[in-house]
Amino acid sequence: MRRKSEPLLRRIATRVLGEEEARRIWKRVEIIGDIAIIKRPFNYPIENLRKLGEELLKELPYVKSVWLAVSEVKGEYRLRDFIHLAGEARSVTLYREYGCVFKVDIRSVYISPRLGYEHMRIAKLVRPGEFIINMFAGAGLFSIVIAKYSRPRKVISIDINPEAVKLMIENVKLNKVEDVVEVVHGDAGVVIEKYHGVADRILMPLPHLCYEYLPKAIQALKPRGGFIHVYDFVENVRRRSEAISNAKDKYSMRLSELGLQDKFKIINARVVRSAGPKKYQVVLDIEIKKC
């Protein structure tokens, strides 16, 4: 007899797939608005997951559509390939977080509910009147939560993906933050050059570019300095503590190479999420004093 405290998703998966297979699958289910996404393990039979999708529709009345992610996040826009499994054949939904509402399309913009804690954590760090640049804004979640819950002067919200930018413009209007959030379409590495020396705080929530674009982010900070939040992946580590240590070493070396060895401090570091076997996403909050 299963305990009542056992997660509902695990109970559903166990009923459909059996105990052993459920252990592989249930943590790979993610709910975004009224869409459920199942991340397919390598070569796992799609028909088995279709049955799971149909059962999720029956058991979870708030879920209207189920999709199977059949690839890792990839490409310039950091998207997955999907197969529709069950329910309504639509990929657009309204996702709610901290009283904000976001229109998203899982096939055209990257989104992960596991970043929800980070959205509010960063918002609480923002000081009144800050000028913020979000270099990789996606559908605008970080930017809009900050605009709603802090008192920034301006949030420059950049993304290279035209579909993400369209959604972000809608989301800025939906959440009535047009006076604070400015949406900019383009390559963040190019766009940020227009904001030399103006930012108090810069967000870099795109792991595959934050290391490369770090010098440009530093140049955009005010002459006295400011804060940069980098989100990077650390691979081939067994423990979270090892992932944090490796990330600190990587960026300490990078900042020293940029001539800032005595002008930075990593004031906080934490694992955001597990991203696969021996792979973690780590965020570093870095304070930089230019003078």
* Residue labelled with tokens 């705080």: 201
Residue 1 pLDDT > 50: no
E strands of the chain, at which residues?
Answer: 29-32, 35-39, 65-69, 82-87, 92-97, 100-105, 131-134, 154-159, 181-185, 201-204, 225-235, 264-276, 279-289
Residue 26 pLDDT > 90: no
Q: Does residue 134 sit in helix, strand or coil?
A: strand
What is the Cα–Cα distance from 87 to 71, expressed in whole angstroms? 21
| Cβ–Cβ under 8 Å, residues 288 and 264 | yes
Q: Smallest Cα–Cα separation from 84: which of 94, 104, 70, 73?
A: 70
Calculate the average pLDDT of the chain. Answer: 94
Kindly state the average pLDDT of the residues 221-238: 96
Summarised one tens digit per residue, pLDDT across range 246-257 is 999 999 999 999
Kindly state the average pLDDT of the residues 270-276: 91
- pLDDT confidence band for 5 (50 / 70 / 90): very low
Q: What's this model's pTM, rounded to 2 decimal places?
A: 0.92
Kindly state the average pLDDT of the residues 34-59: 93
How distant is the alpha carbon of residue 144 from its chain centre?
13
- pLDDT confidence band for 41 (50 / 70 / 90): confident
Summarised one tens digit per residue, pLDDT across range 104-158 is 999 999 999 999 999 999 999 999 999 999 999 999 999 999 999 999 999 999 9
Q: Contacts from 47-50 at CB under 8 Å and sequence distance 24+?
A: 48/16, 48/17, 48/21, 49/25, 49/85, 50/85, 50/86
- pLDDT confidence band for 269 (50 / 70 / 90): very high
What is the Cα–Cα distance from 119 to 147, expressed in whole angstroms? 11
Residue 7 pLDDT > 90: no
Longest dimension (CA), the chain: 64
Kindly state the average pLDDT of the residues 45-59: 94
Residue 2 pLDDT > 60: no
Among 12-16, 77-81, 226-230, the range with the most confident prediction by mean pLDDT is 226-230
Cβ–Cβ contacts within 10 Å for residue 249, how many?
Answer: 11
pLDDT at 6: 55
Residue 223 pLDDT > 80: yes
